[in-house]
Amino acid sequence: MRIAVVGTGYVGLVVGACLAETGNDVVCADVDAGKIARLNAGEIPIYEPGLEPLVERNLRDGRISFTTDVGPAVASAEIIFIAVGTPPGEDGSADLKHVLAVADTIGSNMPDDGPEKIVITKSTVPVGTAAKVRAAVARHTGRTVHVCSNPEFLKEGAAVLDFMKPDRVVVGVDSEYAREKLGELYAPFVRTGNPILFMDIASAEITKYAANAMLATRISFMNMIAGLCEAVGADVTHVRQGIGTDERIGPGFLFAGIGYGGSCFPKDVKALIHTLRDTGVDASILDGVEQVNDAQKSVLVQRVTERFGADLTGRTFGVWGLSFKPETDDMREAPSLTVVRGLVERGARVRAHDPEAGHEAERYFEDLITSGGLTLCEHNYDCLEGADALLVLTEWAPYRNPDFARVRAQLGEPVIFDGRNLWDPERMREAGFHYVSIGRQARAGSARLAATA
Ligand SMILES: NC(=O)c1ccc[n+]([C@@H]2O[C@H](COP(=O)([O-])OP(=O)(O)OC[C@H]3O[C@@H](n4cnc5c(N)ncnc54)[C@H](O)[C@@H]3O)[C@@H](O)[C@H]2O)c1
Ligand SMILES: O=c1ccn([C@@H]2O[C@H](COP(=O)(O)OP(=O)(O)O[C@H]3O[C@H](CO)[C@@H](O)[C@H](O)[C@H]3O)[C@@H](O)[C@H]2O)c(=O)[nH]1
């Protein structure tokens, strides 16, 4: 099938490459000329495991191409994916300006004849958006288009695998033609028996937000329980195992940490709250989810000030991990933004390392780097030179089994604040570290119940 994917970011590029891999003829269009130039030169602008060989192979075999000419790309395609960003507006609602700009381009480039066209919202968009896309196209043309909602559930860091072997494909349609075409398009991806769930468009649009909000709720719930564990001297790891083995709950997405980040959960929870309020539905569960998450991002800075005092002037801290999670260079809404800024604002200097997000960190922390508050290090051990303590913010694999003797020798004091619960508290204590993690030890002054037990 001839496919156009408009928006060649994390989602658009993965969708385009995976659809090319199954034999489709794909053109990826984006208004960012720099990005398209790099892609045409065979360079992948993001770090995403497995993506580079996929793009290379399909580029070489002529099944994928990249262009800034959005108009001709959508004019010649029979299936058009809209995969542009839907950032939060000032009120938290999803800003649809890029989506509707693409719809406008589709309408104004509609050929007078040729095969029927399917327009798919792949971007995460609030319920009711398909109707707005349809209206934007219809302003330019009398031709009918089949507008569908096909939300994407891929995770960064595992995007190619998630798209190739999805748990499910959700498709909101209101025509038999679109249902058949999308059934054919996705057939190679659901061969192993995972379902394509066809439904009405509104339900598909809501499904995406419901999935992300449910996952974000689990995380905030576990961070709340971690706070309780710290207050009474219990261990959130045991609680996680204790509840995750109940098959009604399941083991995934129950890891306490320093809050969820990334380009999706924070913005999608906000957008769903906005939709709920707009429609007069109580949003208090999600208000709580956000509140817990905002507080959780500051937990490590609080622990640092409990140990070193509110004024951190003259202190230096080593930081391992800046991306919002491992296996990605993405720093959008990363907890590291709160933690690193929090330390520097209190007078500290930070020496940080990330295996892939260095170039993003240069952008996000330009001011701190210029002022000397933050130094980015080539190697994770370089961060520890002259540092008072180490903070672990992202659970990258190379951080999991460090040379603890070297860590101890390099640190001014053997103090580690672990935001991702990488190590066993007892073993860390035996190794001579003052080790602070999330929800696994009673906090000084808050071990009320444990002390009285
Ligand atoms: N990143 C994820 O893991 C993920 C997963 C599922 C769904 N989503 C959703 O998918 C959408 C895209 O997310 P992303 O992370 O890929 O965003 P992104 O910012 O990485 O990419 C968006 C791209 O769209 C381009 N663009 C903007 N306006 C355009 C226009 N008018 N014409 C052509 N190109 C245009 C931008 O230049 C950019 O390259 C969002 O709605 C997001 O919520 C993201
Ligand atoms: O038990 C957990 C699991 C995750 N996280 C954090 O949650 C955030 C999001 O993680 P993850 O969901 O793995 O990453 P994303 O790439 O943002 O993917 C989410 O957002 C995408 C965009 O909508 C969806 O497509 C995916 O299904 C959904 O998992 C990260 O900061 C993680 O550190 C935790 O704190 N505890």
Name the pTM for this structure: 0.95
**Quick check: CB of 151 below 6 Å from ligand 2?**
no
Kindly tell me if the per-residue pLDDT of 451 is higher than 50.
no
Task: Report which bound ligand comes closest to the CA of 28.
Answer: 1
pLDDT for the residue numbered 441: 83
Planar angle of CA 68, 13, 272, nearest 5 degrees:
105
Residues 269-303: tens digit of each pLDDT: 999 999 999 999 999 999 999 999 999 999 999 99
Compute the distance from residue 6 Cα to the ligand 1 centre, in Å.
9
439: left (phi over 0), alpha (psi -120 to 50) or beta: left
Ligand nearest to the CA of 125: 1
Half-sphere exposure (Cβ direction) of 29: Cα atoms closer than 13 Å: 21
Atom 11 (ligand 2) nearest CA? 155
pLDDT of 310 above 50:
yes
Nearest residue (by CA) to ligand 2, atom 25, is 153
Strands across the sheet containing 389-392: 374-376, 349-353, 316-320, 389-392, 415-418, 434-436
CB of 123 shorter than 6 A to ligand 1? yes
According to the model, what pLDDT value does residue 453 have? 43
30 in contact with ligand 1, CB cutoff 6 A: yes
Does an H or E element contain 29, and which? strand 25-29
Quick one: which atom of ligand 2 is closest to the CA of 158?
16
Mean pLDDT score, 339-347: 98
Distance separating alpha carbons of residues 351 and 364, to the nearest angstrom: 15
Per-residue pLDDT band at 337 (split at 50, 70, 90): very high
Ligand 1 pocket test target in 14, 27, 84 with most atoms within 8 Å of CB: 84
Mean pLDDT of 111-136: 96
User: How much is the average pLDDT of 183-204?
Assistant: 94
Probe target for ligand 2 pocket from 46, 215, 420, with the most ligand atoms within 8 Å of CB:
215
Helix axes 265-278, 201-232, angle to 10 degrees: 120
State yes or no: pLDDT of 452 exceeds 50. Answer: no
Q: Which ligand 1 atom minimizes the distance to the CA of 156?
A: 3
357 lines ligand 1 (CB under 6 A): no
Which residues does the annotation mark as catalytic? Answer: 264
**Calpha distance 423→400 (Å, rounded):** 8
Integer Cα distance of 228 and 264 in angstroms: 27
Predicted pLDDT of residue 443: 74
Could you tell me the pLDDT band of residue 172, with boundaries at 50, 70 and 90? very high
Q: Is the CB of 6 under 6 A from ligand 1?
A: yes
Q: Which amino acid is at 50?
A: G
The secondary structure of 104-129, three-state, reads HHHHHCCCCCCCCEEEEECCCCCCCH
Give the Å distances, CA to CA, from 158 to 208, 245, 262, 387: 18, 24, 14, 33
Q: How confident is the model at residue 442 (pLDDT cuts 50, 70, 90)?
A: confident
Distance between Cα 63 and ligand 1 center (Å): 22
Residue 155 alpha carbon to ligand 2 centre in Å: 7
Q: Compute, in angstroms, the gap from residue 155 CA to the centroid of ligand 1.
A: 14
* Closest approach atom of ligand 2 to CA 261: 31
Q: CA 317 to CA 353: how far, in whole Å?
A: 11
DSSP string covering 389-428: EEEE-S--GGGSS--HHHHHHHSSS-EEEETT--S-HHHH
Quick check: CB of 65 below 6 Å from ligand 1? no
**Is the distance from the beta carbon of residue 124 to the nearest atom of ligand 2 less than 6 Å?**
yes
- Find, among 8, 124, 114, 127, the residue nearest to 68 by Cα: 8
- Output the pLDDT for position 445: 63
pLDDT 10s digits, 34-58: 999 999 998 999 989 999 999 999 9
Ligand 2 contact, 166 CB (< 6 A): no
Say whether 254 counts as a known binding-site residue.
yes
Token pair 């003052």: residue: 434
The mean pLDDT value for 308-322 works out to 98
Instruction: Say how many Å lie between the CA of residue 123 and the centre of ligand 1.
Output: 7
Are 341 and 330 contacting, i.e. CB atoms less than 8 angstroms apart?
A: no
pLDDT at 183 over 80: yes
pLDDT at 179: 98
Which ligand places an atom closest to the C-alpha of 120? 1
pLDDT at 267: 96
Q: Residue 288's CB: how many other CB atoms inside 10 A? A: 14
In the chain the domains, ranked by start, together with CATH numbers, are 2-199 (3.40.50.720), 232-436 (3.40.50.720)
Q: Is the pLDDT of residue 388 over 90?
A: yes
Helix, strand, coil share (%) of the chain residues, nearest 5: 45, 15, 40
**Is ipTM > 0.90 here?**
yes
**For residue 30, how far is its CA from the centre of ligand 1 (angstroms)?**
10
Confirm if 119 and 106 have CB atoms less than 8 A apart.
yes
Give the pLDDT confidence score for residue 193 in this predicted structure: 82
227: tokens are 């706070």
Segment 148-167 mean pLDDT: 96
**pLDDT-based confidence at residue 191 (cuts at 50, 70, 90):** confident
Cβ(51) – ligand 1 distance below 6 Å: no
Q: Is pLDDT at 448 greater than 80 in this prediction? A: no
3-class secondary structure, 59 = helix
Give the pLDDT mean for 79-96: 96
Most ligand 2 atoms within 8 A of CB, residue of 154, 155, 168, 437 to mutate: 155
- Using alpha carbons, select from 260, 278, 175 the residue that is nearest to residue 219: 260
Encode pLDDT of 389-434 as tens digits.
Answer: 999 999 999 999 999 999 999 998 899 999 999 999 999 999 999 9
Q: In sequence order, which residues have a C-beta less than 8 Å from that of residue 265 and are 6 or more positions away?
A: 212, 215, 216, 219, 333
Distance from C-alpha of 7 to C-alpha of 32, rounded to nearest angstrom: 9
Burial status of residue 81 (CB atoms within 10 A of its CB: 0-12, 13-18, 19 or more): buried
* Average pLDDT of the segment spanning 320-328: 96
Is 337 labelled a binding residue? no
Residue 446's pLDDT is 62
Nearest to 107 by CA among 60, 72, 141, 80: 141
